[in-house]
Chain A
Amino acid sequence: MKRIFMLAVGILLIASCSEYESAKPDQDVDLSRAKAIWLDAQSKNGGGNNGRVVDQLTPLFEQYSQHLAHNDLPFLKIPVATQNRVVHQMEDVNTDLELGSYLLYVDNHDGENLYLVNVVLGEGNNFNNGLVTVHDLAGDYVVGYRFEDGEYLPVSEEREINQNGRSSGVECWYVDHYTCTVRVGPDDCELDYTTVHCEYYADKPPLIFGDGSGEGGGSGEGSSLINPVQCDDGYFADEQGRCINTCGPGMVYDENEGCILLECNNGYIPNINGECYCPSHAEEINGECLLKCIEGYRRDENNSCLQILDCTTDDDIINNIQSAFKEIWEASNAANVGVPMSDRSEEGGWIVENNGVYSYVPFPISWIRSSCGIDPPSTWTNDIPSNAVGWVHSHPFYIGEDRQSVCGTESVEESYVGGPSEFDWEALAAFSQQIGNFGMKAYVIDGNSISYVDVLRRLQSFNRCAY
């Protein structure tokens, strides 16, 4: 958990090397009081007296703060009184104060700043899962990370505060989905697509700090930010002390403050007010809410972000007949996993060379195509060009697809693993022998990669690219 704070500190640039006495906090500090002292100290500092702002806070820190010196990046944390009952409950059993709300002091080239850090845990109060968000004292969102099983995912936030002062909104985060091909090693992973997950909340304390006049918003002991009402799981306490149902992800309030499911189309997502909207990480184009992909990624037809791969390989044939690979794949009718396997077919042909220039010649139509193979006629020997240097065909499948039914046999692997088969190598051997060219290669293109095998059974794989 402490790494989370380091992450936040990192985002907020490098903190200064201030030294403070460690002191175990003996009670919570009212956030409004901290805010008031801070603004007061800033005001005095701005007046030109007394040096650093943080010095003005020394009495407060000495009384309530704890100095954490992780990795020599000092910052002060002050457990802040909060309405978040979960935090309070967990703080009771977690003496290390690793979750809750904290004041984060940062001194860098931008000057001294104080931030509010909120750490909440995920389902089951599991310390491996949760959310850390950082707001400035104006209540503006600065940065956030969702941590899931030790992984940190950036979070964007849309926040709304309703008329009751109740804070509600939606937090969204990106999840990258990878396909890893075990066959060529555990590190050979490709980003398949990125999805966006959003979670609704309605039980966070409002981040309102008064008018910023330096008076601390008139707050102090007995601030309205302190809410003693404790509600059961699934409910939060509003300003009037009522326990209100907490709507889960994808749910919105109806007129009776019950939770109903709201469905949105075309990439839009529902917000807490029962409206479908396009979040900041996406853009509206012709009535659709489409993901904005970061540099190096492109948006595909399924509104997912795919990594743009380098199309250059060290294989001259692939480099020279990329259009043929595209043609073969399109003819295979396997544009995506949604196409029924029975509608797809293997396609292929010869790779021929004329004066150092490679080109592609499709197999004759007498070579029968199906989803699971190409069957030449008995007169196949007449169809091989004498200048063939290779042959290529498609496997119209994606890694992991179960094609037993379409191939008509249980002896096919349940989960397609890719690459040339014994059939493919035997055909290469027959073709090579027929024309006396044992330098021929057999290329295979499938939904995930391009690979080839030579007569010595050497195998090489390449990324699928624009073809």
Chain B
Amino acid sequence: MKYLKWIWVMSMSFLFFNSGFGQCLGKSKGSRALSRVERFVTAPYQQEKREETGAIDESKISINIVEDESVCSQIEGILTNDIKINNNLDNPDLAKYFYETTNYYYAFWAPKPEFDGIPKTGPKLLFVVIKKDLSEHWKYYL
């Protein structure tokens, strides 16, 4: 019985930290979110922003979801302290995504994965580009 209790506690802890309750919320790979990062990295119309941030050599194949909880926590810190996002408003259709390429992190909002494949109109949303050493960040609405 004692061991069963221990196993139950461990199981619950494992489920908690792997179900999105940590800082790395965007582990599910929304295709629309991914394509927004891809366009930032490669599309001609984003060239100006790439030059402004210095992210001119980031490759499409290097795009990945940020999974390191400590990194996600640091990105959250930038959003909260520097960008002043306090999570006071919660649009149920949107999710926050953290992606990375070789030298940059990308924190932004986009529709939840369940809306993939369904076009919709909507406002320009925050898209933050952060240097991996966290020394600089740039804020855009796309």
CB distance from B84 to the nearest CB of A (A): 8
List which B37-63 residues lie within 8 A (CB) of chain A: 39, 43-45
Q: Is the CB of A412 within 8 A of B124?
A: yes
Q: Is the CB of A423 within 8 A of B44?
A: no
Q: Is the CB of A412 within 8 A of B123?
A: yes
Contact A407/B123 with A422-B36, A422-B142, A457-B44 known, Cβ cut-off 8 Å: yes
Q: Which residues of A contact B94 (CB under 8 A)?
A: 409, 411
Decide yes or no whether B88 CB sits under 8 A from chain A.
yes
Decide yes or no whether B89 CB sits under 8 A from chain A.
yes
Contact A404/B89 with A412-B124, A426-B32, A457-B43 known, Cβ cut-off 8 Å: yes
Contact of A422 among B91, B92, B124 (CB under 8 A): B124
Contact A421/B125 with A404-B89, A407-B91, A408-B90 known, Cβ cut-off 8 Å: yes
Decide yes or no whether A373 CB sits under 8 A from chain B.
yes
Once the chains are docked, how many angstroms separate the CA of A409 from the CA of B22?
21
Q: Is the CB of A417 within 8 A of B124?
A: yes
Contact A380/B118 with A408-B90, A426-B32, A457-B44 known, Cβ cut-off 8 Å: yes
Q: Which residues of B contact A424 (CB under 8 A)?
A: 121-122
Residue of A nearest to B142 (CB): A422
Once the chains are docked, how many angstroms separate the CA of A408 from the CA of B88?
9
Decide yes or no whether B21 CB sits under 8 A from chain A.
no
Q: Is the CB of A423 within 8 A of B121?
A: yes
Q: Is the CB of B90 within 8 A of A409?
A: yes
Q: Which residues of B contact A372 (CB under 8 A)?
A: 122-123
* Tally of A interface residues using CB under 8 Å: 32
CB distance from A306 to the nearest CB of B (A): 27
CB distance from B60 to the nearest CB of A (A): 17
CB distance from B29 to the nearest CB of A (A): 17
Once the chains are docked, how many angstroms separate the CA of A408 from the CA of B90?
6
| Most-contacted residue by chain A among B110, B120, B126 (CB, 10 A) | B120
Decide yes or no whether B81 CB sits under 8 A from chain A.
no
Q: Is the CB of B121 within 8 A of A412?
A: no
Q: Is the CB of B85 within 8 A of A410?
A: yes
Once the chains are docked, how many angstroms separate the CA of A409 from the CA of B89?
5
Q: Is the CB of A427 within 8 A of B87?
A: no
Q: Which residues of A contact B45 (CB under 8 A)?
A: 457
Q: Which residues of B contact A376 (CB under 8 A)?
A: 118-120
Once the chains are docked, how many angstroms separate the CA of A392 from the CA of B87?
32
Decide yes or no whether A390 CB sits under 8 A from chain B.
no
Q: Which residues of A contact B44 (CB under 8 A)?
A: 457
List which B106-120 residues lie within 8 A (CB) of chain A: 108-110, 118-120
Decide yes or no whether A346 CB sits under 8 A from chain B.
yes
Q: Is the CB of A410 within 8 A of B86?
A: yes
Once the chains are docked, how many angstroms separate the CA of A426 from the CA of B38?
13
Decide yes or no whether B6 CB sits under 8 A from chain A.
no
CB distance from A107 to the nearest CB of B (A): 59
CB distance from A382 to the nearest CB of B (A): 13
Decide yes or no whether A405 CB sits under 8 A from chain B.
yes
Residue-by-residue, is A240-256 near B (CB-CB < 8 Å gives 1, otherwise 0)?
A: 00000000000000000
Residue-by-residue, is A427-457 near B (CB-CB < 8 Å gives 1, otherwise 0)?
A: 1001100000000000000000000000001
Decide yes or no whether A374 CB sits under 8 A from chain B.
yes
Decide yes or no whether B8 CB sits under 8 A from chain A.
no
Residue-by-residue, is B70-89 near A (CB-CB < 8 Å gives 1, otherwise 0)?
A: 00000000000000011111
Once the chains are docked, how many angstroms separate the CA of A300 from the CA of B138?
41
Decide yes or no whether A413 CB sits under 8 A from chain B.
yes
Decide yes or no whether B14 CB sits under 8 A from chain A.
no
Once the chains are docked, how many angstroms separate the CA of A186 from the CA of B86?
33
Once the chains are docked, how many angstroms separate the CA of A280 from the CA of B136?
58
Residue of B nearest to A421 (CB): B124
Decide yes or no whether B3 CB sits under 8 A from chain A.
no
Decide yes or no whether A403 CB sits under 8 A from chain B.
yes
CB distance from A458 to the nearest CB of B (A): 8
Residue of B nearest to A372 (CB): B123
| Most-contacted residue by chain B among A378, A407, A417 (CB, 10 A) | A407
Q: Is the CB of A378 within 8 A of B89?
A: no
Q: Is the CB of A411 within 8 A of B85?
A: yes
Residue of B nearest to A371 (CB): B123
Once the chains are docked, how many angstroms separate the CA of A395 from the CA of B124?
11
Q: Which residues of A contact B88 (CB under 8 A)?
A: 410
CB distance from B135 to the nearest CB of A (A): 23
Q: Which residues of A contact B120 (CB under 8 A)?
A: 373-376, 423, 427
CB distance from B16 to the nearest CB of A (A): 26
Q: Is the CB of B91 within 8 A of A409?
A: yes
Once the chains are docked, how many angstroms separate the CA of A430 from the CA of B115?
13
Q: Which residues of A contact B86 (CB under 8 A)?
A: 410
Decide yes or no whether A393 CB sits under 8 A from chain B.
yes
Q: Which residues of A contact B91 (CB under 8 A)?
A: 407-409, 411
Interface residues of B, Cβ cutoff 8 Å to A: 32, 35-36, 39, 43-45, 85-92, 94, 96, 108-110, 118-126, 141-142
Ranked 8 nearest A-B pairs via Cβ: A423-B122, A427-B119, A411-B109, A408-B91, A457-B45, A430-B119, A411-B126, A409-B91
Q: List 6 A-B contacts (CB under 8 A).
A: A346-B121, A405-B89, A410-B126, A421-B121, A421-B123, A422-B39
- Kindly list 13 other residue pairs between chains A and B, CB separation below 8 angstroms, not including A373-B123, A409-B94, A411-B96: A373-B122, A378-B118, A403-B123, A409-B109, A410-B86, A411-B109, A411-B126, A412-B141, A413-B123, A421-B121, A424-B122, A426-B119, A431-B119
